Amino acid sequence: MAAAVLQIDLVFSRPDTTLAVTRGAARVMLDLGYAPLLEVGLPNGRRADVMALGPRGDIIIVEVKSGLEDYRVDRKWHEYGPFCDAFYFAVAPEFPEGVLPEEPGLIVADGFGGAVVRAAPSSPLAPARRKALTIAFGRLGAMRTLREPVGG
């Protein structure tokens, strides 16, 4: 008699996948010594899913892609480069290989963490822009702490 095989298919909605990949990418940034903020508005009107400030003042932006369709319909990623030293895509482990362009870095992540699969090339910011972004980053982080209830 053949043993029964139990198959479990995990299906995540796009918002669940986005949240999991975003959390994982932020954890990767923490593991690398960066201080990440989520949902950061940029001077050009775009919003970075994750922006992280490094111990030497370098800035990384991570664009989260919840799936293939999300990548195909959203082509604004070229507009992040002027506001970071390095740019990464972050995707779930099940994201199809070979679809994303080679230029950006690549992080594969889930809700528990992730890994840098491909390092992003460095494109250093101009000093004046770095200063402006660093000040804005610090102010945003400080303002967000005030939204949190004290002691909780």
Rounded Cα distance, 107 and 92, in Å: 9
Distances (CA, A) of 91 to 38, 59, 98: 16, 20, 12
Please give the backbone phi and psi of residue 113, each rounded to the nearest 5 degrees, phi first.
155, -160
In a domain, 124, yes or no: yes
In a domain, 151, yes or no: no
In a domain, 30, yes or no: yes
Instruction: Convert 97-125 to b/e letters by CB count within 10 Å (16 or more is b).
Output: eeebeeebbbbbbbbeebebeeebeeeeb
pLDDT of residue 35: 98
Q: What is the DSSP string of 90-152?
A: EE-TTSPTT-S-SSSEEEEEETTEEEEEEPPPP-PPPHHHHHHHHHHHHHHHHHHHHHSPTT-
In a domain, 3, yes or no: no
CATH code for position 99: 3.40.1350
pLDDT of residue 14: 81
- Rg of the chain over Cα atoms, rounded to whole angstroms, equals 17
Report the number of distinct structural domains present in the chain. Answer: 1
- pLDDT mean for each 10 residues of the chain (152 residues): 48 80 98 98 97 98 95 90 98 94 96 96 97 97 84 56
In a domain, 18, yes or no: yes
Rounded Cα distance, 15 and 53, in Å: 25
Nearest to 60 by CA among 104, 108, 111, 1: 104
> Against a cut of 0.85, is the pTM above it?
yes
In a domain, 130, yes or no: yes
In a domain, 22, yes or no: yes
Residue type, 128: A
Rounded Cα distance, 74 and 77, in Å: 8
Residue type, 24: G
In a domain, 8, yes or no: no
Q: Where are the alpha helices (DSSP H) in 48-103?
A: 68-73
Q: Could you tell me the residue range of the domain that residue 110 belongs to?
A: 14-146
